[in-house]
Structure 1
Amino acid sequence: MTSICVFGAGAIGGLMAAKLEMAGTPVTVVARGPHYEAMRAKGLVLKSEGTETVTRPKVATDPREIGPQDYLVLTLKAHSLLPAMAQLKPLIGPDTTIVAAINGVPWWYTYKLGGEFEGRSIGSVDPGGALTAALPPSQVLGSIVYPAADVVEPGVIEHTYGDRFTLGEPDGSRSERAGRLSELLIKAGLKAPVRPRIRDELWVKLWGNMAFNPVSALTGGTLDKVIADPGTHAVCRAMMVEGQAVAEKLGVKFALTVDKRIAGGAEVGAHKTSMLQDLERGRPLEIEALLGAVVEMSEWVGIDMPIGRAVLALVRQRAETRANG
Structure 2
Amino acid sequence: MNDSEYEAGEGTEADGTPQERPGVEWARPGSVGVCVIGAGAMGGLLGGRLANAGADVSLVDQGAHREAMAENGLTLLGPDDTRHVVVNPTVRADTADLGTQDLVILSVKAYDLPSVAPSVGPLVGPETVILPVQNGIPWWYFHGFDGELEGHRIESVDPDGVVERHIDTERVIGCVPFAAGEVVEPGVVRHTEGRWFPVGELDGTTTPRIRGITDLLGRIGLRSRVLDDVRSELWLKALGNLSFNPVSALTRATLGEICRDPETRALVRTMMEEAKAVAEALGASFRRSIDDRIEGAETVGDHRTSMLQDLERGDRLELEALVGTVLELAEVTGKPAPTIRTVYRLTHLLDETRRR
Q: Aligned runs of 1:50-69 on 2, under 5 Å?
A: 50-56=81-87, 57-69=89-101
Where 1:4 maps in the other structure, the secondary structure is: strand
1:152 positional shift: 2.1
Match of 1:27 in 2: 57
TM-score w.r.t. the length of structure 2 is: 0.87
What residue is the counterpart of 1:128 in the other structure? 160
| Residue in structure 1 matching 2:132, options 100, 103, 106 | 100
Contact 1:18 1:55 in 2 (8 A): yes
Structure 1 Cα separation of the partners of residues 246 and 336 of structure 2: 19
Residue identity matched to 1:178: I
The code of the aligned residue for 1:53 comes to H
Shift of residue 296, structure 1, vs aligned partner: 0.8
Preserved CA contact (<8 Å) 2:36 2:104 = yes
Aligned letter for 1:61? A
Q: Report the AA paired with residue 235 of structure 1.
A: L
Report the counterpart of residue 301 of structure 1 in structure 2: 333
TM superposition shift of 1:103 = 0.4
Give 1:30-179 correspondences, 5 Å limit: 30-48=60-78, 49-56=80-87, 57-93=89-125, 95-179=127-211
Range moving further from structure 2, 181-190 or 42-51 = 42-51
* Distance in 2 of aligned mates of 1:47 and 1:224: 22
Map residues 9-24 of structure 1 onto 2, 5 A cutoff.
9-24=39-54
2:339, 2:94 → 1: CA distance? 44
How many angstroms apart in 2 are the aligned matches of 1:240 and 1:36?
A: 37
Q: Distance in 2 between matches of 1:50 and 1:265?
A: 22
Tell me which amino acid in the other structure corresponds to 1:182: T
Contact 1:6 1:27 in 2 (8 A): yes
Pairwise mapping of residues 181-260 of structure 1 onto structure 2 (< 5 A)?
181-260=213-292
| Alignment CA distance shift 1:141-1:215 (3 Å) | same
Deviation of 1:8 after TM superposition, in Å, equals 0.3
Q: Which residue of 1 aligns with 2:348?
A: 316
AA aligned to 2:62 is: R
**CA 1:41–1:128 in 2, change beyond 3 Å: closer, same or farther?**
closer
Measured against aligned partners, the alpha-carbon deviations of 1:232-286 in whole angstroms (never above 9, x if no partner) come to 2222111100100110111111011111111111111122211112112211111
What's 1:267 paired with? 299
Letter aligned with residue 68 of structure 2: A
Q: C-alpha distance in 2, partners of 1:293/1:272?
A: 22
Distance apart, 1:168 and its partner CA: 0.8
Q: Deviations over 1:187-231 (max 9, x none)?
A: 111112121111111111110111111111112222222222222
Question: Is 2:258–2:264's contact at 8 Å kept on the other side of the alignment?
Answer: yes
Which amino acid in 2 is paired with 1:98? Answer: I
- The residue type paired with residue 320 of structure 2 is E
Runs of 5+ in structure 1 lacking a partner? none
Task: Find the counterpart in structure 2 of residue 279 from structure 1.
Answer: 311
Question: TM-score with structure 1 length normalisation?
Answer: 0.95
Please tell me the residue identity of whatever aligns with 1:185: L
Shift of 1:94: 5.2
Aligned-residue offset at 1:299: 1.4
Structure 2 residues not aligned, in runs of 5+:
1-30
Q: Which moved more, 1:243-252 or 1:57-66?
A: 57-66
Aligned-residue Cα RMSD (Å) equals 1.6
1:155 & 1:282 partners in 2: Cα distance?
Answer: 18
Is 1:25–1:184's contact at 8 Å kept on the other side of the alignment?
Answer: no
Native 8 Å contact 2:118 2:166 kept in 1:
no
Task: Supply the AA of the counterpart residue of 2:82.
Answer: T
CA distance in 1, matches of 2:215, 2:174: 16
Aligned pairs, how many? 324
The alignment-based identity, stated in percent, is 45
Q: For 1:303 and 1:147, locate their aligned partners in 2 and report how far apart those are by CA, in whole Å.
A: 30
